[in-house]
Chains A and B, each alone.
Chain A
Amino acid sequence: MNNKDVSLAKDNNDGKSIPGFLWNEIKPKGKWLTPFNVISIPVIFIGIGIIIFRFWKGLGAVTNLSQEVPWGLWIGFDVVTGVAFAGGAYVVTFMVYILNQQKYHSIVRVTVLNGFLAYVFYAGALLLDLGRPWNVINPIIGNNFGTSSVLFLVAWHFMLYMIAELIEFSPAIAEWLGARRARKVLSSMTIGAVIFGITLSTLHQSGLGALYLMAKEKIHPLWYSEFIPILFLVSSVFAGLSMVIFEGTISHKVFFDQINEKNHRAQKEIVHGLAKICTGAMFAYFFLQFLVFIHDKNWTYLNTNDGLLVSYGDDWICAFTYGAILLQLSDQ
């Protein structure tokens, strides 16, 4: 498949200008009014409209944020939880390049690309939520380093990790452009980028949890714990791998006809392997939550608020049952 890509790129490159080459690559190669596009095109246009309205009238015009709730679903779910879901890239690169588990080598590239794109979109989503986005460059340049801030650390690691992921993926870009020497140089940087990327991920995945350490008064004691950074890190392992399984399963369905029996089997093996790792991580999470529960004597809060207890219990039950289900699946 790679060879085909390279030869294609060369054909396109011959005697054509760069815009011509790009157009050739971008232009639709089949029917473009697919069901997926029919749904997503209006979504994109409505989204652009809302974005314009947001910058014109302020955040209050398009959100329900208040002085008491300065971070809503956009940050809490879209960015903080989303980044955990994008954690698959660092886990898979760890398995392939650090532990040399060659079984997963075939999914490295797509996982890293996925992670990179996810981070690009989260950065965009974050920009929309910033009240004064024109100052976003301040923590990166100049003498405005708020080094005592966990958010400063997260911002820097976020940015550096995007670069690391780009380097990890760059050999594919070099192949696409047919630049062999560049590919060789970029490939040699992979292991460095992987080590750097895993370190950055460890710190910013846990850092996202550490953001809430100072908000002690605003988080229910059942959720608040000094172990929240570690809980975030562990949950990013199974959240990230779950996303890899989810997206991989969709790709497998879409391209079902285009791969042979051997690859079907390989895909199944990979999914089972990933599910097993998820299981382990989920039991680790479950165990950690249990430790925190006992350690902080949290049982005193159990009969305080039913709604909250349900969602808190959910956390545990999910970790436990999904873990058990995945274990069952992977045994088959």
Chain B
Amino acid sequence: MSIDRRNFIKIIGLAGASLAVGDSFGAISEKEGEVEFRGMLYDSTQCLGCLACEKACAESHKLPEPKDEPKAGIIRKTSESQRSAINIFNTSKGEVFNKTQCMHCNEPACAAACLTQAMFKTKEGPIIWRGDKCMGCRYCMVSCPFDVPKFEYHSSNPIIQKCDMCYDRIITGKIPACAEACPGAVIFGSRRELIAEARKRIAQKPKDYYEVIFGENVAGGTANLYISSVPFNEVGFNTKLQNTSYPALSKGFLYTVPSVFVLLPPLLLGIHEATKNKPSISEENE
């Protein structure tokens, strides 16, 4: 990929184009990204509930190992010391496992909410939290439709705890700790490949699977995808979430800001000038 870009810039250079043009072309090709969004597919029909993913996650991020076991009827939530959690649900098809962690939305509400870009969607797909930028306003927690970011309320130097899809491992070519530890239910790959794989599994065994891929469309699409034997509201997901992206909700407001900023001051100045011609009234009142 980088070779292509280098060649491209070289050609531009040879053609005598200015350096500035070359630079901007380089920047654009980087922004468009030849890196595909990565994601994880969780196939709950393959999950054994062995908790290897949770243990690997805790070990990989130096967090305490969760001691409680999943039990139907009790929901184990992710917390400021736990990034992913396995749960058992009593469903129409018996007990079904489900794994929760950050969904890594394509258009994340948390990153759109963050005023310091501490919550940041990387070009590889994971959304990471950057402590040197975060000011702890917790607007990401308010905005996230999946309630993923967790805040350390009992610390004088609190952090936001959330799954970062093991970003440090991904950029060195490794796969996320949970996917590595899992015997077969969590698969790591590019989002496009994972959707194809999920579709294939559903098509091959239509009786074993519910026909929807959770994460393909929800909240504008997420990097983490789910297939299961039952509808997803039975395994703890809120299936009433909108299918368009959450940042789009505040887009309209943000787009009116520049127009207000341009139009309101001249209007105010105009009214000020128009009403100015009555000095006598003010003197009378005095």
Contact = CB atoms under 8 A, between A and B. Distances in A.
Contact of B265 (A55, A99, A196): A196
Contacts of A211: 139, 142
Interface string A121-132: 000000001111
Contacts of B246: 214, 216
A135 B139 contact: no
A97 B116 CA distance: 36
Given A149-B113, A149-B115, A217-B241, A58 B254 contact: no
Contact of B281 (A102, A198, A212): A102
B20 interface: no
Interface residues of B, number: 62
B265 A210 contact: no
Residue from B139, B141, B247, B281 having most chain A Cβ neighbours under 10 A: B139
Given A65-B153, A103-B285, A139 B275 contact: no
B158 A131 contact: yes
A223 interface: no
Interface stretch (A199-207, A274-282, A324-332): A199-207
A210 B251 CA distance: 10
Interface string A305-327: 00000000000000000000000
A150 B154 contact: no
A307 to B, nearest CB: 22
B136 A132 contact: yes
A229 B250 CA distance: 10
Contact of B250 (A150, A198, A199): A150
B15 interface: no
Interface stretch (A22-30, A67-75, A180-188): A67-75
A58 B242 CA distance: 35
Interface in B232-286: 238, 240-242, 246-247, 249-250, 252-254, 257, 260-261, 264-265, 268-269, 271-272, 275-276, 278, 281-282, 285-286
Nearest to B130: A144
B115 A152 contact: yes
B260 A203 contact: yes
A150 B253 contact: yes
B153 A146 contact: no
Interface string A110-153: 00000000000000000001111101101100001110111111
Contacts of A207: 253
A151 B137 CA distance: 9
Given A98-B271, A100-B276, A217 B145 contact: yes
A59 B117 contact: no
Contacts of B145: 216-217
B268 to A, nearest CB: 5
B254 A148 contact: yes
Contacts of B278: 100
Contact of B117 (A97, A144, A151, A194): A144
A18 interface: no
A33 interface: no
B41 to A, nearest CB: 24
Contacts of A215: 142-143
A216 to B, nearest CB: 6
Interface residues of A, number: 62
Contacts of B155: 58
B268 A195 contact: yes
Nearest to A134: B135
Contacts of B153: 58-60, 63, 65-66
B156 A58 contact: yes
A61 interface: yes
Contact of A199 (B141, B252, B260): B260
B114 interface: yes
Contacts of B113: 146, 149-151, 214
B152 interface: yes
Nearest to B253: A210
Contacts of B136: 130-133, 135
B198 interface: no
7 contacts: A71-B142, A132-B136, A135-B135, A145-B117, A148-B247, A152-B115, A217-B238
Given A60-B153, A135-B116, A203-B260, 20 more contacts: A59-B153, A63-B153, A70-B138, A70-B151, A100-B276, A132-B135, A132-B136, A132-B158, A133-B135, A135-B136, A148-B254, A149-B112, A150-B253, A150-B254, A198-B268, A203-B257, A214-B113, A214-B247, A214-B250, A215-B142
Interface of A: 55-61, 63, 65-68, 70-71, 94, 97-100, 102-103, 105, 129-133, 135-136, 138-139, 144-146, 148-153, 155, 191, 194-196, 198-199, 202-203, 206-207, 210-218, 226, 229
